Amino acid sequence: MNLYKHLDDHVETYLSAILLIFFSFLCIFQVVMRYIFNESLTWSEELSRYAFVWFVYTSAAFAVRYQRHVKFNFLVNILHKISPTYSQILKIIALFCWVGFLIFVDYYSVQTVMNQFNMGQVSPANQIPMYIVYLGLPMGALLMTFRVTQHIVNGFKELKNIKESH
C-alpha cells in the first residue's frame, strides 16, 4: 500500500524528471558534437524531439495532479462568497466536463496508436516504431483522466464536508 501511495503521489514527477533529464542531455550532447567536434548527429535530434513530446504529456498530467493547470476561477470565487455549496458544485461540473473531453482524447489517441502500430511506420533516423512515439499522448491523457477523476471524488468529499458544516 505504501508503494501504491508513493507512486500515486509521484508517478508524473518521476516520469517528467526522467524525460526532462534525457531530453536535456541529448540536446547538450548534440550541441557539443556540432560545435566542438563539427559532427552533426541525426539520431540524437530525433530522439530528443520524441522525448520532449513525451515530456509535454507527462508534465500535463503533473499539472493536473497538483492543480497547476490554467483555470478560470472568477465565477467560482464570486459564487463561493454567495454559497460555498454552489461554488463546489460548479467546480465538480467543470471537472465532469473536463473528464468528458479527456475520455474523447483517450479514445482517439488510443485509435491513433493502434493505427500507427498496424501501419508499421518507423522513425527515419532511429528506426523506432512510431506507435511508441505516439504512445505518449494516450499515456498522458489517461494519467490526466485518472487525476481529474481523483479531483472529482475529492470534490464530492469537500461538498459533503461543506454540507455537514452548515
What pLDDT score was predicted for residue 80?
84
Burial of residue 47 (number of CB atoms within 10 Å: 0-12, 13-18, 19+): buried
At 122, is the secondary structure helix, strand, or coil?
strand
What pLDDT score was predicted for residue 160?
95
Q: What are the residue ranges in the chain where pLDDT is below 50?
A: none
What pLDDT score was predicted for residue 73?
80
63: its cell numbers: 499539472
What pLDDT score was predicted for residue 166?
73
The single residue listed with the C-alpha cell 518507423 is 122
What pLDDT score was predicted for residue 76?
83
Q: How far is CA 150 from CA 8, 64, 96, 105, 132, in A?
A: 11, 10, 11, 18, 27
38: its cell numbers: 563539427
Letter for the amino acid at 87? S
User: Cα separation of 101 and 119, whole Å?
Assistant: 27
